Amino acid sequence: MNTIISIEPGTPMESQVRPGHNRWHPDIPPVASAGRGDRIRVECPDMFDWQIRNDDDASDIAELNMNRAHMVCGPIAVEGARPGDLLVVDILDVGPLPGRAWGYTGIMRPEMGGMLADYFSEPRKAIWDFEGIYATSRHIPGVRFAGQVHPGILAVAPSHELLDRWNSREQALIQTDPDRVPELATVPDPDGAVLGSLSGAEFERVASEAARTLPGRENGGNCDIKNLSRGSRLYMPVFVEGANLSVGDLHFSLADGEATVCGAIEMAGYLDLRVDVIPNGMDVYGTSNPFFVTGPINVEYTERIVFEGFSIEADGTQGFLDAHASYRQACLEAIRYLSRFGYSEEQAYVILSTAPIETRINALGGKPNAVCTMAVPTGIFEGDIKPQSRSNWGTPASVDLASVVAAG
Amino acid sequence: MNTIISIEPGTPMESQVRPGHNRWHPDIPPVASAGRGDRIRVECPDMFDWQIRNDDDASDIAELNMNRAHMVCGPIAVEGARPGDLLVVDILDVGPLPGRAWGYTGIMRPEMGGMLADYFSEPRKAIWDFEGIYATSRHIPGVRFAGQVHPGILAVAPSHELLDRWNSREQALIQTDPDRVPELATVPDPDGAVLGSLSGAEFERVASEAARTLPGRENGGNCDIKNLSRGSRLYMPVFVEGANLSVGDLHFSLADGEATVCGAIEMAGYLDLRVDVIPNGMDVYGTSNPFFVTGPINVEYTERIVFEGFSIEADGTQGFLDAHASYRQACLEAIRYLSRFGYSEEQAYVILSTAPIETRINALGGKPNAVCTMAVPTGIFEGDIKPQSRSNWGTPASVDLASVVAAG
Amino acid sequence: MNTIISIEPGTPMESQVRPGHNRWHPDIPPVASAGRGDRIRVECPDMFDWQIRNDDDASDIAELNMNRAHMVCGPIAVEGARPGDLLVVDILDVGPLPGRAWGYTGIMRPEMGGMLADYFSEPRKAIWDFEGIYATSRHIPGVRFAGQVHPGILAVAPSHELLDRWNSREQALIQTDPDRVPELATVPDPDGAVLGSLSGAEFERVASEAARTLPGRENGGNCDIKNLSRGSRLYMPVFVEGANLSVGDLHFSLADGEATVCGAIEMAGYLDLRVDVIPNGMDVYGTSNPFFVTGPINVEYTERIVFEGFSIEADGTQGFLDAHASYRQACLEAIRYLSRFGYSEEQAYVILSTAPIETRINALGGKPNAVCTMAVPTGIFEGDIKPQSRSNWGTPASVDLASVVAAG
Amino acid sequence: MNTIISIEPGTPMESQVRPGHNRWHPDIPPVASAGRGDRIRVECPDMFDWQIRNDDDASDIAELNMNRAHMVCGPIAVEGARPGDLLVVDILDVGPLPGRAWGYTGIMRPEMGGMLADYFSEPRKAIWDFEGIYATSRHIPGVRFAGQVHPGILAVAPSHELLDRWNSREQALIQTDPDRVPELATVPDPDGAVLGSLSGAEFERVASEAARTLPGRENGGNCDIKNLSRGSRLYMPVFVEGANLSVGDLHFSLADGEATVCGAIEMAGYLDLRVDVIPNGMDVYGTSNPFFVTGPINVEYTERIVFEGFSIEADGTQGFLDAHASYRQACLEAIRYLSRFGYSEEQAYVILSTAPIETRINALGGKPNAVCTMAVPTGIFEGDIKPQSRSNWGTPASVDLASVVAAG
């Protein structure tokens, strides 16, 4: 595996040898390149670029500079990739940096958003220790799980045309409620921008146009799909010459839905990829968004407790086929349930955001309620968290088979 | 297994020996009862109470009486169940009625709603033949899959208080856009109501108050959760003495999300249950909604093509963390993709609504886009539907290991 | 599904309308036929043709007539099948007969053999009740599992040439130790033979030549492969015109290895098949034995306790790469382990013979010991049967995340 | 993770800083120690201690010194472990050494044994490249699979009493056929022995008594169990103070059964463990052999072609419940089948020895034939290797759902 981008732990992204970026723009120049069929390694900082410490004090979360989020490595120009092609990216491996076998999960300040920001208003931090395939936390005893390790961000550069489309549609959304706090979307903002090697006037221009990294979009971006993991093959639309692939936001584990804004187990690490190109693939397969084929290694916890949610707000207000509200209700049900087993509500919230939870949209056909479910694996808890219904299986083993007597 | 409710195929529900119902109300009297630990069989008509024929003509879908939908069997009074308890329901088995090894999926008239009603405005019907664990359709050649057979509806009666809450919150929703067509929610409506053995003035009163069956709610109801299947154990809040369990809407298979309104493979069949009670369980476990523990038999198609969607409407409008919109976009991506392999768009729509598709809420942390995915199993298609990237694995097997010569 | 062979419960096979057989011979005439692509249902008695009762008395096991074992239904002539073809058999469904939701497992008299016949010399019987997908036994409380329902026997008729080969090679084996009790193989024996409609001199001739049904052979036969289950597609060599398919020995569940001779959960039931033919398939695919492709519905218990065995006899004698001895040692280890959790050794033996156990040949490269393992699912036991190592995961959840204080 | 034993690649074991060993004996002194609950890393050479090169020439296999096989690292003394305890070993992670992302599989000289040594008499070598979770080989194009990475050897030191028992039972086996070539078991042999820091007379004594490493035994040893992999928890009997744990023989992948003697993908690598002790565990749980609980990350290829074998030798001789012969026959069936798809027989043999194949003992109840199966995943091959039966699923998708016309 050829390491084409290495990083110096603790050094800010703009000071790395091959500086990355935290905005999307076609004019950020590539810092590395790869040929078709190449196997490459990229090292990545954690999503907050070393702002979070491995300690028991959440003041770093409280004082976080959110403009330094989603720092990604690249762009990497892929030889032969042209607009209209599909870029094929095999995720061969992902893991923590040697000597940094830990990660973190935060509960953010409420103004940063977060699905349950109304309930959890104090900044909090959980540190996770990686023991090979497992994560444990000294802040959440009694739980241990295997991580579905994956990159939160795999993205290509947008074209100018696509960037313009993003900016205009997101600006239009903001205009529907321009005074909302927090705002409905994050607009281009030069403050905190890191744009690789750009500087001077070109930096200013690009920084004022470049899209923010918070949402996933047609170029991939911050998709946070836990099953887009080791062994997956990703197909991404190509919008510029060379595709300009950037990657980062590595997660040791993540629950479907990512209940908290910083809800994964965030880590610095390495990512091994193989890149290839399907010429004219967007037209051949009729796709405008990334799609992927799953791999054969997954975290398997087959027995699960599944919590159901409907489109009802906490104050009883009825929503209309609102899957987000249904997920929130299911999550609150799960938090209350886990609190009966000795976990604090904040601990439960972090578990439901980080562990290998499956969150599904089950039914959108029954207006006004969307039905969503959160499936929590029972095998990640030290004790048995299933409800006890003692009459179910009969009394414990006490009948000797010998009482079934053979006739003389 | 003791059959406590049997049905006569083809006979309307109100004329069955133990007539069921299609509204939720505490005053619908039980038609059967069961003790704690009892194993019971209940037979059920299909969700449209025999309105749909096994033929190649969708006029029955076009002329459907939607007020005769979700006809359920029961209520069944469970001995000893009291408000505040949890009713424990083991789903032991589900299957089609003997001699009726077929089901149907409809694309409804647009005024009935449906996630992609804008795209698919013509009534359509696909008939599925059940071959043991598999379903095939003469209307959609080239696809075959095993069904995760399950009941769409498992529900208990609401209390009067809960029913009032439903009616007021849903009425309040309608008032936010009272002229909308179709309406935002379905209000109590005596037209087409079937209420078991009720008649006369009592029928009139209950029919004018009873909640409609379309949405899932705190009592369970039309949850359409495909993994709440054979082998699962369901825990339901109890709101009235005896719990008053009703069941129906059996599905041979269903995709997470149920893209079309009548999106499952609907069938008439039997349901084998075991019932039990956890006294005071709602308080003990802190739950207000049903929840369940999964069983050990599931449909396993591990390799999947996963389509991603973001909160963007088809006209390019940006939504705000709208998981419904993201699911819709992923679904449209999948339809376009499958159409490249010879399926019509309507066929693809039905496949994506019925096959064992996993639909996930992946990330809600990246405003304004919710990220949702539809994971389509590759193993259900006759041919290989993965993208071909010929340079991936090297050339076909042609190197003889003997060319690795041992030294003389 | 077209029922081409139905049976009358309780009636001996020779008195059924379409009598089956319990020997293999090319001259047993077909009792039914099927075309290519046909879907057919066959009903089958249990393997001992109704000799075993649903009660608490093992005298039926003690007095069993073993010459009435493996009573199969058929032969079924498949249109167009010719020697050298492959017969394709889809197993669409298998289940118990309606109204007979129970099965049995026996520990046989020692002279009948059985892997641990030295240890378990008393005839015993366990009755299992089927509750939908689950089996429980009043004779073995504290265990419940889903069954991988399957036919123990799917077989085609041998040619005369193949039958001769079987008889001569098995006779040669017996001659290596002709006085052994029990004998090394079971020779043709007219006593107890049932040969469909044959009678008179033809019956006598065929009965004296026909192979016994105990072992699996090139024609399939008593293979007892639990994963050759619902949804599988089986490919069988064809040796005679019409293939002459016979089926039976249905099992609700079986452990890999079938520790006891009558080690499955034996039941009477139905079997739904689809048949087809690949002309000249034996040559095309180079195979002489049956092979199959697995289906998508399996019993999933991912967490397992795995017991290891080596080729050492119970008296300490060293064997040579003897996988059978290794399996036996692993089985004895598992029995001792389970006995620590309250199961009697006989109960443990029956569990290890019937539950969804995976038994593997792990390594044959390390002479003189073959390494075999038995993987016992933890989820089938009422209690937790994993060893407790209390220091492993830290103390129970007791640390409040709030103690991780945000700075003022 | 604390690296308690590191190795210098390419340096022979006896010259490492903490030299390991290739014999079992209680008097080999520990080279490292660990406390209860410690997490430790151990680096290991490949099983042949650097004798094999990454090239296209099998002369290294042909000239191999088999007395330098199974070089393991340790012993590691575990604080507090006493005879009669169970040593608890969590396998946290396993992987190749950085910069050595390759492994090898050999077909050995026939005198070294090997299940199919009669068929494959020429030394051969396949080199595998590791691409993250996947292995590919330039010597076997058209196949790629994820590895279930695991250590082939996890073992504790035997007591003097246990060692004596091994030596006497294995010697007795040899005496049953003392002139056999190759011999039935490998006796203590000072030639090539490496015994850690021992030297002089003590080396001579121990070397003449110490057991060879080829077979697995009660102390663990060369068990080659592919599912004893990342995430598993192993329980081992303790025979000496400190347990004296030794590890090695790391495999990137291995088929159940290990058809060739050097049948895994052998590699040098690291192993991360956590150790603990259950006092008096052997008596508490009644076990004399190692056993383990599986972990939640496994290689999942659910669709498999399963080949059946019976206890018949290649020359037609009938064996008696010989599972080894059954496995061999299933393996030969699979080789012939794969050869129809363009693989050479040697390539097929290596695939069946290295890929994630499941090999089961299915039935031992049907004398004289044991039934064993090899389950080959279809997803590891570039093309579709399932038999084609074109009439199965109907014609390709060509019916437009629109032809199902809604009534006017």
SS (H, E, C) B202-263: HHHHHHHHCECCCCEECCEEECCCCCCCCCCEEEEECCCCCCCEEEEEEEEECCCECCCCEE
The yes-or-no verdict on residue D389 having pLDDT over 70 is: no
B390 burial level (CB within 10 Å; 0-12, 13-18, 19+)? exposed
pLDDT at A173: 97
State phi, psi for C43 to the nearest 5 degrees: -95, 145
Q: Hey, what are B182's tokens?
A: 């179709």
pLDDT at B84: 97
Determine whether the interchain pair D296/A297 forms a contact, defined as Cβ–Cβ distance below 8 Å: no
Determine whether the interchain pair A344/C400 forms a contact, defined as Cβ–Cβ distance below 8 Å: yes
pLDDT at A111: 75
How many CA atoms does the CB half-sphere of B115 hold within 13 Å? 30
User: How does pLDDT run across A215-241, given as a tens digit for each residue?
Assistant: 999 999 999 999 999 999 999 999 999
User: How does pLDDT run across D181-237, given as a tens digit for each residue?
Assistant: 889 999 999 999 999 999 999 999 999 999 999 999 999 999 999 999 999 999 999
Which residues on neighbouring strands pair with residue D154, listed in sequence order?
A: D221, D247
Instruction: Give mean pLDDT, residues A53-60.
Output: 95
Tell me the pLDDT band of C401, cut-offs 50, 70 and 90: low
Of D308, B257, C189, D242, nearest to A371 (Cα)? B257
Instruction: Give mean pLDDT, residues C13-28.
Output: 97
Of D86, D87, D78, D94, nearest to D41 (Cα)? D94
Of D148, D361, D71, nearest to C309 (Cα)? D361
For an interface test with A, give the residue of B277, B289, B341 to mutate (most A CBs within 10 A).
B289
The yes-or-no verdict on residue C396 having pLDDT over 70 is: no
CA D151-D155-D157 angle, to 5 degrees, is 160
Measured CA to CA, the distance from residue C274 to residue B144 in angstroms comes to: 14
- More reliable by pLDDT, D254 or D115: D254
How many CA atoms does the CB half-sphere of A289 hold within 13 Å? 30
pLDDT at C392: 37
For an interface test with C, give the residue of D90, D361, D395 to mutate (most C CBs within 10 A).
D361
Residues of A in contact with D101 (CB under 8 A): 1
Measured CA to CA, the distance from residue C323 to residue A291 in angstroms comes to: 46
C112–chain D nearest CA distance, Å? 10
Tell me the pLDDT band of A127, cut-offs 50, 70 and 90: very high
Enumerate the H helices of C145-296 as residue ranges: 160-175, 200-209, 281-285
Measured CA to CA, the distance from residue D186 to residue C368 in angstroms comes to: 8
Q: Hey, what are D186's tokens?
A: 């490998």
The yes-or-no verdict on residue C405 having pLDDT over 80 is: no
pLDDT at B401: 54
pLDDT at C382: 85
Determine whether the interchain pair C90/B131 forms a contact, defined as Cβ–Cβ distance below 8 Å: yes
State phi, psi for B51 to the nearest 5 degrees: -75, -20
Query: From residue A156, how far is each of A170, B332, C252 by CA, in Å?
Result: 19, 22, 53
3-state secondary structure of A67: helix
Determine if the peptide bond prior to D290 is cis (ω within 30°): no
Fold agreement between D2-293 and D304-392 = no
Measured CA to CA, the distance from residue B233 to residue B291 in angstroms comes to: 9
Q: Hey, what are C263's tokens?
A: 């080690």
- Range with the poorest average pLDDT among A114-123, C96-105, C325-334, D48-57: A114-123
Instruction: Give mean pLDDT, residues C15-34.
Output: 98
C2-293 classified as CATH 2.40.50.140: no
Q: Hey, what are D27's tokens?
A: 């008097």
Measured CA to CA, the distance from residue C195 to residue C210 in angstroms comes to: 9
3-state secondary structure of A328: helix
Of D214, D209, D185, nearest to D198 (Cα)? D209
Q: Hey, what are C192's tokens?
A: 């107890």
Cβ density class A77-93: b for 16+ within 10 Å, e for less:
bbeebeeebbbbbbbbb
- How many C-beta atoms surround the C-beta of residue A265 within 10 A? 29
Determine whether the interchain pair B57/D141 forms a contact, defined as Cβ–Cβ distance below 8 Å: no
Mean pLDDT (chain D, rounded): 92
Residues of A in contact with D1 (CB under 8 A): 101
- Name the strand (E) or helix (H) holding D166: helix D160-175
- In tens digits, chain B (408 residues) has pLDDT values of 799 999 999 999 999 999 999 999 999 999 999 999 999 999 999 999 999 999 999 999 999 988 888 999 999 999 999 999 999 999 999 999 999 999 999 998 877 777 788 888 889 999 999 999 999 999 999 999 999 999 999 999 999 999 999 999 999 999 999 999 889 999 999 999 999 999 999 999 999 999 999 999 999 999 999 999 999 999 999 999 999 999 999 999 999 987 777 789 999 999 999 999 999 999 999 999 999 999 999 999 989 999 999 999 999 999 999 999 999 999 999 999 999 998 999 999 999 999 999 999 999 888 999 999 999 999 999 888 999 744 334 333 334 454 443 333
What residue spans define the domains of chain A? 2-293, 304-392
The yes-or-no verdict on residue A181 having pLDDT over 50 is: yes
Which residues on neighbouring strands pair with residue C32, listed in sequence order?
A: C76
Length of chain D: 408
| Phi-psi map region of C74: left, alpha, beta (phi>0 left; psi -120 to 50 alpha) | left
**Are D368 and C184 within 8 A, CB to CB?**
yes
pLDDT at D401: 54
Q: What percent of chain D has pLDDT above 90?
A: 83
State phi, psi for C271 to the nearest 5 degrees: -140, 125
Query: From residue A300, how far is each of A334, B238, D352 by CA, in Å?
Result: 20, 33, 25
pLDDT at B403: 44
User: How does pLDDT run across C166-197, given as a tens digit for each residue?
Assistant: 999 999 999 999 999 889 999 999 999 999 99
CATH topology of domain D304-392: Endonuclease I-creI (3.10.28)
Determine whether the interchain pair B297/C300 forms a contact, defined as Cβ–Cβ distance below 8 Å: yes
State phi, psi for B350 to the nearest 5 degrees: -70, -40
Length of chain C: 408
**Are D359 and D372 within 8 A, CB to CB?**
yes
- How many C-beta atoms surround the C-beta of residue C55 within 10 A? 12
Q: Find the residue in B nearest to A358 (Cα).
A: B360
Measured CA to CA, the distance from residue A328 to residue A317 in angstroms comes to: 13
Residues of A in contact with C136 (CB under 8 A): 393-394
Determine whether the interchain pair A297/D146 forms a contact, defined as Cβ–Cβ distance below 8 Å: yes
For an interface test with D, give the residue of A100, A131, A294 to mutate (most D CBs within 10 A).
A131
3-state secondary structure of A329: helix
Determine whether the interchain pair D86/C387 forms a contact, defined as Cβ–Cβ distance below 8 Å: yes
Determine whether the interchain pair D337/C186 forms a contact, defined as Cβ–Cβ distance below 8 Å: no
Bridging pattern class, strands C233-237 and C124-131: unpaired
**Are D145 and D353 within 8 A, CB to CB?**
no
CA A235-A238-A244 angle, to 5 degrees, is 100
Q: Hey, what are A107's tokens?
A: 């509960």
For an interface test with A, give the residue of D89, D133, D234, D357 to mutate (most A CBs within 10 A).
D133
- How many C-beta atoms surround the C-beta of residue C201 within 10 A? 8
Measured CA to CA, the distance from residue B31 to residue C352 in angstroms comes to: 43
pLDDT at D392: 37
Nearest to A309 among B228, B289, B321 (CB): B289
3-state secondary structure of C333: helix
Task: State the chains in contact with C (3 or more Cβ–Cβ pairs under 8 Å).
Answer: A, B, D
User: How does pLDDT run across C213-238, given as a tens digit for each residue?
Assistant: 999 999 999 999 999 999 999 999 99
HEC string for B98-164: CCCCEEEEEECCHHHCCCCCCCCCCCEEEEEEEECCEEEECCCCCECEECCCEEEEEEECCCHHHHH
Q: Hey, what are B339's tokens?
A: 């159409």
Residues of C in contact with B93 (CB under 8 A): 132-133
User: How does pLDDT run across C323-355, given as a tens digit for each residue?
Assistant: 999 999 999 999 999 999 989 999 999 999 999
pLDDT at D265: 97
Enumerate the H helices of A257-371 as residue ranges: 281-285, 323-339, 345-354
Tell me the pLDDT band of A401, cut-offs 50, 70 and 90: low
Dihedral sign for Cα atoms in the order A296, A299, A301, A307 = negative
Of D98, D156, D104, D107, nearest to D129 (Cα)? D104
Interface residues from chain D to A (CB-CB < 8 Å)? 1, 39, 90-93, 98, 101, 131-134, 145-146, 230-231, 272, 274, 295-301, 379
Measured CA to CA, the distance from residue B401 to residue D124 in angstroms comes to: 7
**Are C150 and C94 within 8 A, CB to CB?**
yes
Rg of chain B (C-alpha set): 23
Residues of B in contact with C300 (CB under 8 A): 296-298, 300
Tell me the pLDDT band of D404, cut-offs 50, 70 and 90: very low
Mean pLDDT (chain A, rounded): 92
Instruction: Give mean pLDDT, residues D308-330.
Output: 94
Q: Please tell me what DSSP assigns to residue D110.
A: G
The yes-or-no verdict on residue C376 having pLDDT over 90 is: yes
Q: Please tell me what DSSP assigns to residue D384.
A: -
C14–chain D nearest CA distance, Å? 24
Q: Hey, what are B257's tokens?
A: 């999300």
Dihedral over alpha carbons D178, D182, D185, D189 (to 10 degrees): 90
**Are C150 and C226 within 8 A, CB to CB?**
yes
